[in-house]
Amino acid sequence: MLNHRVVEVFAYQETLLMMAVFGIAILAMIWVGFRRWLQYKEKMGRLIAEQTAERAAQYGARMERVEAHLKTIEQIVTDGGVQTITQVDVPAADSIVGGEVRPNP
């Protein structure tokens, strides 16, 4: 009977050891998966930040152009003179008028 109890104790200890080994292996796999997920999230955050900065720069440049044109239009309206109309920023490219391509004056 004593011999039987010793075997039960060893079997119980062996079972506990196996459960601990499998538990540690599972925790290691979860840790590796979490690290990969965290690296992915950090990479996506950097990409989104870069895109946001690029869009903000484009928006800023566009706003500067709009403000410059608005300032010119305000001068035309407040001066009421025809001379100011010639100061309006005209694109350097040729303009299309009535289907014909004409160079800017």
Mean pLDDT, residues 75-103 taken together? 56
**Per-residue pLDDT at 93:** 41
β-strands 95-97, 100-102 pairing: antiparallel
Please write the tens of the pLDDT for every residue from 49-66: 999 999 999 999 999 999
Predicted TM-score of the model (pTM): 0.48
87-92 long-range Cβ contacts below 8 angstroms, 24+ apart: none
**Per-residue pLDDT at 73:** 85
Residue 20, both tokens:
């601990």
Q: How confident is the model at residue 105 (pLDDT cuts 50, 70, 90)?
A: very low
Q: How confident is the model at residue 9 (pLDDT cuts 50, 70, 90)?
A: confident
CA distance 105 to 95: 10
The DSSP secondary-structure symbol of 92 reads: S
Give me the residue spans of the domains in the chain.
2-79
